[in-house]
Amino acid sequence: MAVSTATNGLGRGVALGVLLLGLALPATAEPAEPEGWAYRLSHEIMSPFCPGRSLADCPSPQAENLRAWIVIQEATGRSQADVETELLERYGDVILSAPRAEGIGLVAYAIPVLAFGVGGVLVAVFLRRYTRAGPASPRSTAEALDPELARLVDQDLERGDGPTGPSG
């Protein structure tokens, strides 16, 4: 009887844990993203009021007004391209999150590609030179030693003298 009560209590505890886990999961799930291009556009363009932040991340009242204006433009039926064109006319290229791939903006895309290409060529040239050079030929010990020095070393070895003095 004691075993069935303990098992029954354990079963209730597990059931309660599963129930609480099930209730907690929807609370931690991310809210659904509003549909429509106005929401996406406010996350894609940079804020003219908060440098370095997207329009959606800018806390200023002007940014809030601009986000509301974009939502109203979508609700009235204007196209996203039409609204983007008007924003570019009003605020200039400062609202673009990436430079245009034309004119001087093309340099922003070309420099990394060129740097990567030049670096690849330098690595290839270095590796080609390094692998083509044969291993350095070691000099024989007979060539390396002066005859007088060789004679002195031989004398020391015969006497039993080493680098630390006479052994003994």
Domain holding 60, by residue range, is 37-95
pLDDT number for residue 29: 46
Flag whether 46 is in a domain.
yes
Task: Work out the pLDDT band at 32, boundaries 50, 70, 90.
Answer: very low
In angstroms, the CA 41 to CA 80 distance is 8
**Residues forming beta bridges with residue 117, ordered by sequence position:** none
> In terms of domains, do 60 and 89 share one?
yes
Strands 165-166 and 161-162: antiparallel
What stretch of H or E contains 151?
helix 147-159
Kindly tell me if the per-residue pLDDT of 167 is higher than 70.
Answer: no
Out of 95, 112, 136, a domain closes at 95
pLDDT in tens, 122-166: 999 998 888 886 666 655 555 666 888 888 888 888 887 666 655
Flag whether 146 is in a domain.
no
The whole model's pTM is what?
0.45
HEC sequence for 37-99? HHHHHHHHCECCCCCCCECCCCCCHHHHHHHHHHHHHHHCCCCHHHHHHHHHHHHHHHHCCCC
Flag whether 127 is in a domain.
no
> In terms of domains, do 24 and 65 share one?
no
Question: Do the Cβ atoms of 83 and 41 come closer than 8 Å?
Answer: yes
Flag whether 2 is in a domain.
yes
> In terms of domains, do 53 and 78 share one?
yes
- Residue at 98: amino acid letter: A
3-state secondary structure of 161: strand
Number of domains in the chain: 2
pLDDT in tens, 41-96: 989 899 999 888 999 999 999 999 999 999 999 999 999 999 999 999 998 888 88
pLDDT number for residue 16: 55
